[in-house]
Amino acid sequence: MTCLICKNGETRDGRATVTLERGATTIVFKQVPARVCGTCGEVYLDEASSRKLLAEANAAASSGVEVEVRAFAA
């Protein structure tokens, strides 16, 4: 797919680091499967990965986590 941001690059399968913030909570997920633009580096997640990231982030925020770094488990 052509990148929606730079309009020049093509996306390809890869891995990305995704940072989610809400209020005082910051969670960093490493090695998230994604489509990554070869030109500008923009990251595109599929629906299943997005749902899982949001669910894990909500659970962490509810438990009082302020900062956490974790590997993404598909």
Tens digit of each residue's pLDDT (9 = 90 or more) over 9-54: 999 999 999 999 988 899 999 999 999 999 999 999 999 999 999 9
Asked whether the predicted pLDDT for residue 74 surpasses 80, the reply is no
For residue 2, being part of any structural domain is answered with no
Domain count, the chain: 1
Compute the CA torsion angle 37, 14, 49, 2 (nearest 10 deg).
30
Which residues have a Cβ under 8 Å from the Cβ of 37 and sit 6 or more positions away?
A: 3, 5, 6, 9, 10, 11, 43, 44
**Assigned domain for 35 exists:** yes
pTM: 0.85
Residue 63 domain-assigned (yes or no)? yes
Residue 5 lies in a domain: no
Q: How far does Cα 63 stand from its chain's mean position?
A: 21
- The pLDDT tens digits of the residues spanning 14-25 come to 999 999 998 889
